[in-house]
Structure 1
Amino acid sequence: MKQLIALATLAASALAPTLAHAGLDSDNPLHPLVGIAITGGGDKISHVDYTDGTSQDITAGGLVQLYGGVEYHPKGAPLAFQATVGYHVDSTHARNGDQTFSRWPIEAIALFNATDKIRFGLGARYAASPKFSSGGAGYVGSADYTSQVGFLAMAEWLITPSMGVQLRYVDEHYKVHSVTYDGVNFRESDYHLNGSHGGVGFNYYF
Protein backbone atom coordinates (compact mmCIF):
# COMPACT_ATOMS: atom_id res chain seq x y z
CA MET A 1 0.00 0.00 0.00
CA LYS A 2 2.82 2.41 0.90
CA GLN A 3 4.43 1.69 -2.46
CA LEU A 4 1.16 2.50 -4.28
CA ILE A 5 0.83 5.78 -2.35
CA ALA A 6 4.43 6.66 -3.21
CA LEU A 7 3.85 5.93 -6.90
CA ALA A 8 0.65 8.01 -6.89
CA THR A 9 2.53 10.90 -5.26
CA LEU A 10 5.28 10.72 -7.87
CA ALA A 11 2.70 10.61 -10.69
CA ALA A 12 0.88 13.66 -9.28
CA SER A 13 4.17 15.54 -8.96
CA ALA A 14 5.03 14.72 -12.57
CA LEU A 15 1.63 15.89 -13.84
CA ALA A 16 1.44 19.07 -11.77
CA PRO A 17 3.74 21.23 -13.95
CA THR A 18 1.80 20.18 -17.07
CA LEU A 19 -1.55 21.07 -15.54
CA ALA A 20 -0.28 24.39 -14.22
CA HIS A 21 0.87 25.46 -17.70
CA ALA A 22 -2.33 24.44 -19.53
CA GLY A 23 -4.38 26.94 -21.53
CA LEU A 24 -3.74 30.66 -21.07
CA ASP A 25 -1.27 30.02 -18.23
CA SER A 26 1.22 28.58 -20.70
CA ASP A 27 4.53 30.37 -21.32
CA ASN A 28 3.79 30.01 -25.05
CA PRO A 29 1.90 33.18 -26.15
CA LEU A 30 0.02 31.38 -28.96
CA HIS A 31 -3.03 29.38 -27.90
CA PRO A 32 -5.26 27.46 -30.35
CA LEU A 33 -8.93 27.61 -29.37
CA VAL A 34 -12.29 26.08 -30.25
CA GLY A 35 -15.70 27.37 -29.26
CA ILE A 36 -19.46 27.20 -29.56
CA ALA A 37 -22.07 29.94 -29.11
CA ILE A 38 -25.88 29.87 -28.93
CA THR A 39 -27.25 33.09 -30.43
CA GLY A 40 -30.57 34.79 -31.01
CA GLY A 41 -31.91 37.96 -32.61
CA GLY A 42 -32.02 39.65 -35.99
CA ASP A 43 -34.77 39.91 -38.57
CA LYS A 44 -37.07 36.96 -39.25
CA ILE A 45 -36.23 35.35 -42.59
CA SER A 46 -38.85 32.59 -42.60
CA HIS A 47 -41.62 31.03 -40.51
CA VAL A 48 -42.27 27.28 -40.56
CA ASP A 49 -45.42 25.49 -39.34
CA TYR A 50 -45.35 21.75 -38.55
CA THR A 51 -48.18 19.24 -38.74
CA ASP A 52 -47.99 18.65 -34.96
CA GLY A 53 -49.04 22.27 -34.35
CA THR A 54 -45.58 23.64 -33.47
CA SER A 55 -43.72 26.30 -35.43
CA GLN A 56 -40.22 27.74 -35.80
CA ASP A 57 -38.71 30.98 -37.08
CA ILE A 58 -35.47 31.19 -39.05
CA THR A 59 -33.72 34.43 -38.07
CA ALA A 60 -30.73 36.37 -39.35
CA GLY A 61 -29.10 36.22 -35.90
CA GLY A 62 -29.63 32.58 -34.92
CA LEU A 63 -28.78 30.03 -33.82
CA VAL A 64 -25.55 28.01 -33.38
CA GLN A 65 -22.01 29.16 -34.14
CA LEU A 66 -19.03 26.77 -34.14
CA TYR A 67 -15.55 28.23 -34.55
CA GLY A 68 -11.83 27.72 -34.13
CA GLY A 69 -8.77 29.89 -34.26
CA VAL A 70 -5.83 31.20 -32.28
CA GLU A 71 -5.21 33.67 -29.46
CA TYR A 72 -2.00 35.64 -28.93
CA HIS A 73 -1.64 36.27 -25.19
CA PRO A 74 1.80 36.63 -23.58
CA LYS A 75 1.73 35.28 -20.03
CA GLY A 76 0.95 38.01 -17.53
CA ALA A 77 0.06 40.61 -20.19
CA PRO A 78 -3.26 42.52 -19.80
CA LEU A 79 -4.01 42.45 -23.54
CA ALA A 80 -4.70 39.56 -25.92
CA PHE A 81 -5.78 39.18 -29.54
CA GLN A 82 -8.03 36.52 -31.07
CA ALA A 83 -8.67 35.52 -34.68
CA THR A 84 -11.29 32.88 -35.50
CA VAL A 85 -13.19 31.37 -38.42
CA GLY A 86 -16.52 29.62 -37.89
CA TYR A 87 -19.82 28.34 -39.20
CA HIS A 88 -23.03 30.06 -38.05
CA VAL A 89 -26.39 28.49 -38.89
CA ASP A 90 -30.10 28.62 -38.11
CA SER A 91 -32.11 25.80 -39.66
CA THR A 92 -35.13 23.57 -39.42
CA HIS A 93 -35.33 19.99 -40.67
CA ALA A 94 -38.29 17.65 -41.05
CA ARG A 95 -38.64 14.31 -42.81
CA ASN A 96 -40.08 16.01 -45.89
CA GLY A 97 -38.34 19.38 -46.02
CA ASP A 98 -35.84 21.85 -44.63
CA GLN A 99 -34.82 25.52 -44.48
CA THR A 100 -31.36 26.90 -43.60
CA PHE A 101 -29.67 30.28 -43.19
CA SER A 102 -25.89 29.86 -43.04
CA ARG A 103 -22.75 31.99 -43.09
CA TRP A 104 -19.00 31.67 -42.34
CA PRO A 105 -18.00 34.40 -39.86
CA ILE A 106 -14.42 35.68 -39.58
CA GLU A 107 -13.77 37.47 -36.29
CA ALA A 108 -10.86 39.55 -34.93
CA ILE A 109 -11.06 40.59 -31.27
CA ALA A 110 -8.83 42.57 -28.88
CA LEU A 111 -9.26 41.52 -25.23
CA PHE A 112 -8.44 43.33 -21.98
CA ASN A 113 -8.00 41.54 -18.64
CA ALA A 114 -10.01 43.39 -15.98
CA THR A 115 -9.06 40.71 -13.40
CA ASP A 116 -7.44 37.28 -13.47
CA LYS A 117 -10.86 35.79 -14.28
CA ILE A 118 -12.78 38.52 -16.12
CA ARG A 119 -11.93 40.12 -19.44
CA PHE A 120 -13.66 42.26 -22.04
CA GLY A 121 -13.27 42.34 -25.80
CA LEU A 122 -14.05 44.53 -28.80
CA GLY A 123 -13.63 43.50 -32.40
CA ALA A 124 -14.84 43.21 -35.96
CA ARG A 125 -16.72 40.41 -37.72
CA TYR A 126 -17.32 39.63 -41.37
CA ALA A 127 -19.93 36.95 -42.22
CA ALA A 128 -18.77 35.42 -45.50
CA SER A 129 -21.09 33.63 -47.96
CA PRO A 130 -24.44 34.27 -46.24
CA LYS A 131 -27.16 32.19 -47.88
CA PHE A 132 -30.75 31.05 -47.30
CA SER A 133 -31.83 27.75 -48.85
CA SER A 134 -34.93 25.56 -48.67
CA GLY A 135 -36.13 22.24 -50.03
CA GLY A 136 -38.94 19.69 -50.06
CA ALA A 137 -42.16 20.72 -48.33
CA GLY A 138 -40.28 23.66 -46.86
CA TYR A 139 -39.37 25.13 -50.24
CA VAL A 140 -39.85 28.90 -50.44
CA GLY A 141 -36.91 29.67 -52.71
CA SER A 142 -33.34 30.64 -51.93
CA ALA A 143 -31.42 33.88 -51.45
CA ASP A 144 -27.79 34.99 -51.59
CA TYR A 145 -26.66 37.96 -49.51
CA THR A 146 -23.71 40.32 -49.25
CA SER A 147 -22.58 41.26 -45.76
CA GLN A 148 -21.00 44.32 -44.19
CA VAL A 149 -18.21 44.29 -41.62
CA GLY A 150 -19.90 44.24 -38.22
CA PHE A 151 -19.01 45.25 -34.66
CA LEU A 152 -18.52 42.73 -31.84
CA ALA A 153 -18.43 43.22 -28.05
CA MET A 154 -17.97 40.49 -25.45
CA ALA A 155 -17.26 39.68 -21.81
CA GLU A 156 -15.62 36.43 -20.70
CA TRP A 157 -15.33 34.64 -17.40
CA LEU A 158 -12.34 32.28 -17.29
CA ILE A 159 -13.50 29.28 -15.24
CA THR A 160 -9.99 27.84 -15.59
CA PRO A 161 -7.03 28.93 -17.76
CA SER A 162 -8.37 26.51 -20.41
CA MET A 163 -12.12 27.22 -20.26
CA GLY A 164 -14.10 30.43 -20.62
CA VAL A 165 -17.81 31.35 -20.69
CA GLN A 166 -18.76 34.35 -22.82
CA LEU A 167 -21.55 36.84 -23.24
CA ARG A 168 -21.37 38.41 -26.69
CA TYR A 169 -23.19 40.91 -28.90
CA VAL A 170 -22.75 41.39 -32.65
CA ASP A 171 -24.06 44.27 -34.73
CA GLU A 172 -24.15 43.25 -38.40
CA HIS A 173 -26.27 43.75 -41.52
CA TYR A 174 -26.87 42.00 -44.83
CA LYS A 175 -28.04 43.10 -48.25
CA VAL A 176 -29.90 40.78 -50.62
CA HIS A 177 -27.85 40.03 -53.71
CA SER A 178 -30.29 37.75 -55.50
CA VAL A 179 -33.38 35.61 -54.91
CA THR A 180 -34.16 32.38 -56.77
CA TYR A 181 -37.64 30.81 -56.93
CA ASP A 182 -38.63 27.89 -59.16
CA GLY A 183 -35.43 28.29 -61.15
CA VAL A 184 -36.02 32.00 -61.86
CA ASN A 185 -33.44 34.47 -60.52
CA PHE A 186 -34.50 37.89 -59.25
CA ARG A 187 -32.17 40.66 -58.11
CA GLU A 188 -33.36 42.68 -55.11
CA SER A 189 -30.43 44.94 -54.26
CA ASP A 190 -32.50 47.37 -52.14
CA TYR A 191 -33.59 44.84 -49.48
CA HIS A 192 -31.60 44.88 -46.22
CA LEU A 193 -31.53 42.35 -43.39
CA ASN A 194 -30.54 43.06 -39.78
CA GLY A 195 -28.45 40.17 -38.44
CA SER A 196 -27.59 41.74 -35.07
CA HIS A 197 -27.72 39.22 -32.22
CA GLY A 198 -26.70 38.35 -28.68
CA GLY A 199 -25.39 35.04 -27.44
CA VAL A 200 -23.76 32.86 -24.82
CA GLY A 201 -20.58 30.99 -25.75
CA PHE A 202 -17.98 28.57 -24.42
CA ASN A 203 -14.29 28.58 -25.41
CA TYR A 204 -11.61 25.97 -24.81
CA TYR A 205 -7.97 27.11 -24.98
CA PHE A 206 -5.11 24.69 -25.64
Structure 2
Amino acid sequence: MKKIAFVIAVAIASLSSAQAQNAPAEGNPLRFVVGMGLTGGGDKLATAEYEHGGSVDVRAGGLIAFVGGVDYRINRQFSIQSTVGFHVDQASAENGDVTFKRFPIELLGYFHPTENFRFGGGVRYVSSPKLNGKGFGSGIYKEFDNTVGAVVEGEYFFGPSVGLKVRLVKETYDYTYRDRRYVLRNGETKGDHIGIFGNFYF
Protein backbone atom coordinates (compact mmCIF):
# COMPACT_ATOMS: atom_id res chain seq x y z
CA MET A 1 0.00 0.00 0.00
CA LYS A 2 2.81 2.39 0.86
CA LYS A 3 4.43 1.77 -2.54
CA ILE A 4 1.13 2.38 -4.34
CA ALA A 5 0.52 5.57 -2.36
CA PHE A 6 4.05 6.73 -3.17
CA VAL A 7 3.59 6.06 -6.92
CA ILE A 8 0.27 7.92 -6.91
CA ALA A 9 1.84 10.86 -5.07
CA VAL A 10 4.71 11.02 -7.59
CA ALA A 11 2.27 10.84 -10.52
CA ILE A 12 0.14 13.65 -9.07
CA ALA A 13 3.22 15.77 -8.43
CA SER A 14 4.48 15.19 -11.99
CA LEU A 15 1.10 16.05 -13.48
CA SER A 16 0.85 19.21 -11.39
CA SER A 17 4.35 20.25 -12.46
CA ALA A 18 3.55 19.70 -16.14
CA GLN A 19 0.34 21.69 -15.85
CA ALA A 20 2.19 24.53 -14.15
CA GLN A 21 4.77 24.65 -16.91
CA ASN A 22 2.13 24.67 -19.64
CA ALA A 23 -0.24 27.06 -17.91
CA PRO A 24 -0.56 30.62 -19.16
CA ALA A 25 1.25 33.34 -17.26
CA GLU A 26 -0.68 34.95 -14.41
CA GLY A 27 -3.48 37.24 -15.46
CA ASN A 28 -5.79 37.22 -18.44
CA PRO A 29 -4.10 35.38 -21.35
CA LEU A 30 -6.04 37.48 -23.91
CA ARG A 31 -5.09 41.15 -24.07
CA PHE A 32 -5.49 44.05 -26.45
CA VAL A 33 -2.42 45.78 -27.86
CA VAL A 34 -1.82 49.19 -29.42
CA GLY A 35 1.52 50.42 -30.68
CA MET A 36 3.48 52.89 -32.74
CA GLY A 37 6.81 52.51 -34.52
CA LEU A 38 9.42 53.99 -36.80
CA THR A 39 10.69 52.06 -39.82
CA GLY A 40 13.35 52.59 -42.45
CA GLY A 41 14.40 50.96 -45.71
CA GLY A 42 12.97 49.95 -49.03
CA ASP A 43 13.35 51.37 -52.53
CA LYS A 44 13.04 55.10 -53.15
CA LEU A 45 9.62 55.95 -54.60
CA ALA A 46 9.87 59.74 -54.90
CA THR A 47 11.98 62.72 -53.82
CA ALA A 48 10.63 66.07 -52.65
CA GLU A 49 13.06 68.97 -53.19
CA TYR A 50 12.46 72.17 -51.23
CA GLU A 51 12.95 75.73 -52.54
CA HIS A 52 15.26 76.71 -49.69
CA GLY A 53 17.41 73.61 -50.13
CA GLY A 54 17.29 70.05 -48.94
CA SER A 55 15.17 67.11 -49.99
CA VAL A 56 13.21 64.24 -48.50
CA ASP A 57 12.86 60.76 -49.99
CA VAL A 58 9.67 58.74 -49.75
CA ARG A 59 10.60 55.06 -49.47
CA ALA A 60 8.69 51.81 -49.70
CA GLY A 61 9.84 50.77 -46.22
CA GLY A 62 9.21 54.01 -44.31
CA LEU A 63 8.33 55.60 -42.01
CA ILE A 64 5.63 55.62 -39.30
CA ALA A 65 3.30 52.76 -38.38
CA PHE A 66 0.33 52.47 -36.03
CA VAL A 67 -1.03 49.07 -34.99
CA GLY A 68 -3.84 47.65 -32.90
CA GLY A 69 -5.00 44.12 -32.23
CA VAL A 70 -5.00 41.21 -29.80
CA ASP A 71 -2.29 39.21 -28.04
CA TYR A 72 -2.91 35.71 -26.64
CA ARG A 73 -0.58 33.90 -24.24
CA ILE A 74 -1.04 30.18 -24.98
CA ASN A 75 1.23 29.09 -22.13
CA ARG A 76 4.47 30.19 -20.50
CA GLN A 77 6.51 29.36 -23.58
CA PHE A 78 4.30 30.47 -26.48
CA SER A 79 2.02 33.31 -27.54
CA ILE A 80 0.42 34.67 -30.71
CA GLN A 81 -0.48 38.17 -31.83
CA SER A 82 -2.71 39.53 -34.59
CA THR A 83 -2.81 43.22 -35.55
CA VAL A 84 -4.17 45.61 -38.15
CA GLY A 85 -2.11 48.69 -38.93
CA PHE A 86 -1.60 51.86 -40.92
CA HIS A 87 1.89 52.36 -42.38
CA VAL A 88 2.84 55.63 -44.09
CA ASP A 89 5.80 57.60 -45.42
CA GLN A 90 5.34 61.22 -46.46
CA ALA A 91 7.22 64.26 -47.68
CA SER A 92 5.13 67.36 -47.02
CA ALA A 93 5.32 71.15 -47.30
CA GLU A 94 2.92 74.09 -47.32
CA ASN A 95 2.31 73.69 -51.06
CA GLY A 96 1.64 69.94 -51.15
CA ASP A 97 2.88 66.49 -50.29
CA VAL A 98 3.81 63.03 -51.56
CA THR A 99 2.50 60.05 -49.59
CA PHE A 100 2.98 56.28 -49.68
CA LYS A 101 0.41 54.51 -47.52
CA ARG A 102 -0.72 50.92 -46.94
CA PHE A 103 -2.67 48.82 -44.44
CA PRO A 104 -0.82 45.75 -43.08
CA ILE A 105 -2.51 42.81 -41.33
CA GLU A 106 -0.13 40.57 -39.36
CA LEU A 107 -0.26 37.18 -37.65
CA LEU A 108 2.79 36.42 -35.50
CA GLY A 109 3.87 33.59 -33.20
CA TYR A 110 6.42 33.88 -30.36
CA PHE A 111 8.62 31.79 -28.11
CA HIS A 112 9.29 33.09 -24.57
CA PRO A 113 12.73 32.05 -23.21
CA THR A 114 12.07 34.35 -20.22
CA GLU A 115 9.11 36.30 -18.85
CA ASN A 116 10.63 39.58 -20.08
CA PHE A 117 11.67 38.60 -23.59
CA ARG A 118 10.15 36.83 -26.58
CA PHE A 119 11.09 36.36 -30.21
CA GLY A 120 9.31 35.01 -33.24
CA GLY A 121 7.81 35.91 -36.58
CA GLY A 122 5.04 35.33 -39.02
CA VAL A 123 3.26 36.69 -42.07
CA ARG A 124 2.20 40.19 -43.07
CA TYR A 125 -0.53 40.89 -45.64
CA VAL A 126 -0.38 44.45 -47.02
CA SER A 127 -3.58 45.90 -48.46
CA SER A 128 -4.10 48.94 -50.73
CA PRO A 129 -0.48 50.16 -51.11
CA LYS A 130 -0.62 53.47 -52.97
CA LEU A 131 1.72 56.36 -53.82
CA ASN A 132 0.14 59.71 -54.63
CA GLY A 133 0.82 63.42 -54.44
CA LYS A 134 -0.93 66.75 -54.41
CA GLY A 135 0.24 70.33 -54.81
CA PHE A 136 3.91 70.16 -55.74
CA GLY A 137 3.46 66.40 -55.97
CA SER A 138 0.63 66.55 -58.50
CA GLY A 139 1.08 63.96 -61.22
CA ILE A 140 2.69 61.42 -58.90
CA TYR A 141 0.41 58.41 -58.64
CA LYS A 142 1.05 54.68 -58.54
CA GLU A 143 -1.02 51.79 -57.25
CA PHE A 144 0.67 48.56 -56.19
CA ASP A 145 -0.74 45.06 -55.88
CA ASN A 146 -1.56 43.73 -52.43
CA THR A 147 1.33 41.64 -51.17
CA VAL A 148 2.41 39.12 -48.52
CA GLY A 149 5.64 39.57 -46.58
CA ALA A 150 7.56 37.92 -43.74
CA VAL A 151 8.30 39.31 -40.28
CA VAL A 152 11.01 38.41 -37.75
CA GLU A 153 11.17 40.27 -34.44
CA GLY A 154 12.09 40.29 -30.78
CA GLU A 155 10.30 42.07 -27.96
CA TYR A 156 11.46 43.08 -24.48
CA PHE A 157 8.89 43.75 -21.74
CA PHE A 158 9.66 46.46 -19.18
CA GLY A 159 6.56 45.38 -17.28
CA PRO A 160 3.27 43.56 -17.88
CA SER A 161 1.87 46.41 -20.00
CA VAL A 162 4.84 47.91 -21.90
CA GLY A 163 6.96 46.27 -24.58
CA LEU A 164 9.69 47.40 -26.97
CA LYS A 165 10.21 45.40 -30.16
CA VAL A 166 12.78 45.42 -32.95
CA ARG A 167 11.78 43.85 -36.23
CA LEU A 168 12.87 42.96 -39.75
CA VAL A 169 10.31 42.81 -42.57
CA LYS A 170 10.82 41.43 -46.07
CA GLU A 171 8.23 42.28 -48.73
CA THR A 172 7.95 43.18 -52.42
CA TYR A 173 5.33 45.33 -54.14
CA ASP A 174 4.38 44.46 -57.73
CA TYR A 175 2.87 46.96 -60.15
CA THR A 176 1.97 47.38 -63.81
CA TYR A 177 3.01 50.33 -65.98
CA ARG A 178 3.31 51.45 -69.61
CA ASP A 179 6.77 52.26 -70.97
CA ARG A 180 7.62 55.07 -73.41
CA ARG A 181 6.31 52.96 -76.29
CA TYR A 182 3.06 52.38 -74.36
CA VAL A 183 3.83 48.71 -73.91
CA LEU A 184 2.30 47.23 -70.75
CA ARG A 185 5.03 45.93 -68.44
CA ASN A 186 5.39 44.62 -64.91
CA GLY A 187 7.68 46.07 -62.25
CA GLU A 188 8.46 45.53 -58.60
CA THR A 189 9.53 47.63 -55.64
CA LYS A 190 11.33 46.31 -52.56
CA GLY A 191 9.66 47.27 -49.30
CA ASP A 192 12.17 45.51 -47.00
CA HIS A 193 12.69 47.47 -43.79
CA ILE A 194 13.72 47.42 -40.15
CA GLY A 195 11.68 48.99 -37.37
CA ILE A 196 11.44 49.73 -33.67
CA PHE A 197 8.03 49.75 -31.95
CA GLY A 198 6.64 50.64 -28.56
CA ASN A 199 3.57 48.60 -27.56
CA PHE A 200 1.05 49.00 -24.77
CA TYR A 201 -0.97 45.98 -23.58
CA PHE A 202 -4.23 46.11 -21.67
Task: Return the TM-score normalized by structure 1.
Answer: 0.81
- Check conservation: 1:83, 1:107, Cα contact below 8 A: yes
Mapping of residues 17-32 of structure 1, within 5 Å: 27-32=27-32
Deviations 1:45-77 (A, max 9, x none): 001110121110000000000010001114x52
Deviation at 1:27, TM superposition (A): 2.4
Aligned residues between the structures: 176
Corresponding position of 1:93: 92
What code does the residue aligned with 2:35 have? G
TM alignment of 1:1-206, pairs within 5 A: 27-74=27-74, 77-177=76-176, 189-206=185-202
CA contact (8 A) 2:165 2:197 kept: yes
Secondary structure at the counterpart of residue 191 of structure 1: strand
Question: How many Å apart are 1:189 and its aligned residue?
Answer: 4.7
Unmatched 5+ stretches in structure 1: 1-23, 180-185
Distance between the aligned counterparts of 2:79 and 2:176, measured in 1?
Answer: 36
CA offset digits 1:117-142 (Å, max 9, x no partner): 11101110011000001011122420
Contact 1:147 1:173 in 2 (8 A): no
Root-mean-square deviation (CA, aligned residues, Å) is 1.8
Residues 90 and 118 (structure 1), Cα distance of their counterparts in 2 relative to 1, 3 Å cut: same
Give the percent of matched residue pairs that are identical in Structure 1 and Structure 2: 39
- Alignment deviations for residues 53-112 of structure 1 (CA, whole Å, 9 cap, x no partner): 1110000000000010001114x5210000000000000111111100000000000011
Conservation of the 8 A alpha-carbon contact between 1:127 and 1:149: yes
Pair 1:187–1:107, CA change in 2 (3 A): farther
- Indicate if the aligned counterparts of 2:34 and 2:68 stay in contact, CA closer than 8 A: yes
* Alpha-carbon distance, 1:178 to partner: 5.5
TM-score after normalising by structure 2: 0.82
